[in-house]
Amino acid sequence: MAQQSWWSFFKAFLSDRQRIGAIAPTSTGVGRRMAQLGDIAHARNVVEFGPGTGPITAQILEALPADARMWAFEIHEPFVEHLRANITDPRFTVLAESAEHIRELRAREAPEGFDAIICSIPFSLLPPPVTSGILAAGAAALRPGGVFVALQYHPTYLKPIMREHFESVTGGWYPWNLPPTLLLSGRGSRHTN
Ligand SMILES: C[S@@+](CC[C@H](N)C(=O)[O-])C[C@H]1O[C@@H](n2cnc3c(N)ncnc32)[C@H](O)[C@@H]1O
């Protein structure tokens, strides 16, 4: 499956560079670190934005309590099919929709709000209004005390935009990935929860 993931990821990158945003899936170590930053081991309801072929998803599911639930928003149809074919975990649901639809998901499945959102959408390659729309929807869908964890390769782009949506934004570089990645955590929504 790993080799298949690399190939389908690279093909996806060639077909839609802007929205896929990377040539290869993220490393296991980054996924594990994002699961720690999201405190997934103590979560009940978790969302992933942009799971791709699922390398971060696998680490979230590894850390997630047995009775918790996880949803993932993915817009690239071959990735949706890949995830449906390869992840049979009953706690996991993939939604073939854009991340802003977390609003409807919250109303339907977790009115109290989500504990964590783990995101690897390549925001620096997307139009700014798309980024703002996704961050606003994500911030508003968290429960009080919930956290939005974002992976980015661009060193400076996302932090000031996250500050428009979250009261506190912290983070730093995770060097054990090629290329090194910036991991940012946003807490305290500036939007109505
Ligand atoms: C850099 S890839 C990350 C894939 C995977 N999480 C990984 O780390 O290897 C970005 C992913 O975000 C997805 N994506 C881009 N825009 C999206 C949106 N608006 N809603 C949901 N997924 C989106 C892309 O289809 C792609 O799968």
Q: What is the DSSP letter of 123?
A: G
Mutation test residue for ligand 1: of 60, 76, 95, 135, the one with most atoms within 8 Å of CB:
76
Q: What is the DSSP string of 54-98?
A: SHHHHHHHHHS-TT-EEEEE---HHHHHHHHHH---TTEEEE-S-
pLDDT at 191: 82
Q: Say if ligand 1 is within 6 A of residue 138 CB.
A: no
| Domains delineated in the chain | 2-189 (3.40.50.150)
Residues 6+ apart with CB under 8 A from 26: 52, 55, 56, 120, 151, 177, 181
Question: Under DSSP, is residue 3 helix (H, G, I), strand (E, B) or coil?
Answer: helix
Q: What span, in angstroms and rounded, lies between the C-alpha atoms of 63 and 189?
A: 25
Using pLDDT thresholds of 50, 70 and 90, give the confidence band for residue 66: very high
> Of all helices (H) and strands (E), which one includes residue 47?
strand 45-49
- Give the residue whose CA is nearest to atom 19 of ligand 1: 98
Task: Name the residue type at position 152.
Answer: Q
Confidence check: pLDDT of 3 > 70: no
Query: Which tens digits make up the pLDDT trace of 71-117?
Result: 999 999 999 999 999 999 999 999 999 999 999 999 999 999 999 99
Q: Say if ligand 1 is within 6 A of residue 49 CB.
A: yes
Confidence check: pLDDT of 136 > 90: yes
Closest-lying ligand 1 atom to the alpha carbon of residue 126: 16
pTM as predicted = 0.94
- Give the residue whose CA is nearest to atom 27 of ligand 1: 52
For residue 30, report the distance from its CA to the centre of ligand 1, in Å. 15
Please give the span between the terminal C-alpha atoms of the chain, in angstroms, as a whole number: 39
Using pLDDT thresholds of 50, 70 and 90, give the confidence band for residue 146: very high
pLDDT at 193: 64
